[in-house]
Amino acid sequence: MNGKMSAGFLLLAALFLLLSGCSGSRAVPENAGQIRNQGNEQRTQSAAKQTEQPEHRIIATTLAAAEIMAALDIDLIGIPTSVKTLPGRYDGLTKVGNPMKPDMEIVKSLKPTEVLSVTTLEYDLKPIFESVNIHAHFLDFTSLQHMKDEIADLGKRYDRKEQAAAIIQSYDQKLAEINQRIAGKKQPSVLILLGVPGSYLVATEHSYIGDLVRLAGGKNIVQGEKVEYLASNTEYLQQANPDIILRAAHGLPDEVVVMFNEEFKKNDIWKHFNAVKTGRVYDLEETLFGTTGNLAANKALDALMDMMYPEGT
Cβ neighbour number for residue 310 with a 10 Å cutoff: 9
Q: What total of structural domains would you count in the chain?
A: 2
Q: Which of 109, 139, 169 is the last residue of a domain?
A: 139
pLDDT greater than 70 at residue 39: no
Task: Indicate the SS3 state at residue 71.
Answer: helix
Q: How many residues does the chain have?
A: 313
CB 265 within 8 A of CB 243: no
Please report the pLDDT score of residue 313 as a whole number.
Answer: 62
Q: Where are the alpha helices (DSSP H) in 53-103?
A: 63-71
Please indicate, yes or no, if residue 200 is contained in any of the structural domains.
yes
304/191 same-domain check: yes
Residue 202, domain extent: 184-308
CB contact set of 261 (below 8 Å; sequence gap of 6+): none
129/192 same-domain check: no
Cα–Cα dist 169/184, whole Å: 25
304/188 same-domain check: yes
Model confidence pLDDT, tens digit, residues 181-195: 999 999 999 999 999
The domain that holds 66 is classified in CATH as: 3.40.50.1980
Burial class from Cβ neighbours inside 10 Å (0-12, 13-18, 19+) for residue 10 reads: buried
Model confidence pLDDT, tens digit, residues 100-156: 999 999 999 999 999 999 999 999 999 999 999 999 999 999 999 999 999 999 999
224/124 same-domain check: no
Cβ neighbour number for residue 233 with a 10 Å cutoff: 13
125/218 same-domain check: no
Model confidence pLDDT, tens digit, residues 81-103: 998 899 999 999 999 999 999 99
Please indicate, yes or no, if residue 23 is contained in any of the structural domains.
no
190/281 same-domain check: yes
194/266 same-domain check: yes
Cα–Cα dist 24/33, whole Å: 19
Residue 188 DSSP symbol: P
Please report the pLDDT score of residue 54 as a whole number.
Answer: 62
Q: Which of 139, 169, 201 is the last residue of a domain?
A: 139
pLDDT greater than 70 at residue 274: yes
Residue 53 DSSP symbol: P
What is the pLDDT confidence band of residue 41, given thresholds at 50, 70 and 90? low
Please indicate, yes or no, if residue 20 is contained in any of the structural domains.
no
Q: Which pTM was predicted?
A: 0.80
